[in-house]
Amino acid sequence: MPERAQTKGVLDTLGFFRTLLQHTDTSLIEEWESLLHPELRLPRERRKAREALWIDELLKDPKVFESRVRAEMHLLLRALAAKDWEEAAASIRLDPDDPEGSWTEERFETALAPFFADYGELVFTPEARRRRWTQVTKTGDRTWQVAQTLLDPQGDNLWAAQGTIDLRDPKTVEGPLVRLERIAP
């Protein structure tokens, strides 16, 4: 795609669809990447090449990286708004070091119960998907903090889903990037 056509909206759309495809069927992405990069077809080199391309793609352009993170957070928001706790759990990276354990369906439901008691619903409209509601802050070499504001019908917008991204290990190729730490005001 020509660089002049890579607007924020286009990058956000590409990030969203790539993330959505990755959650449903990664074989489509793998086939496309193998057409663009024939070295991916070599069995022994395939995983190593995929890891290098994936990390390079994410990190070489901060706009692409932030679009991908926003897309993941928007998929999480959609699941939370629908109270689809199973989908919410599938939308985040598992954190084996989390002292509270995995984000299970029950943990999501418990964390969001006070929000839904106070506001009745989580707003998931085009406004909720605007980039201003997602903050991505670099915290170190290949590490970031992420905060996604949860919009409510009253406009208080005090709650957020907060997490981290750690790309120091190249084996983090598969699945979501964001490790959710908390959902709270």
- State pLDDT tens for residues 113-158: 999 999 999 999 999 989 999 999 999 988 999 999 999 999 999 9
Q: Can you spell out the DSSP letters for 51-84?
A: HHHHHHHHHH-HHHHHHHHHHHHHHHHHHHHTT-
- State pLDDT tens for residues 110-125: 999 999 999 999 999 9
pLDDT average, residue stretch 8-29: 67
Identify the bridge partners of residue 150 per DSSP, sorted by sequence position.
159
pTM above 0.85, yes or no: no
SS3 104: coil
Report residue 169's pLDDT band, with 50, 70 and 90 as the boundaries: confident
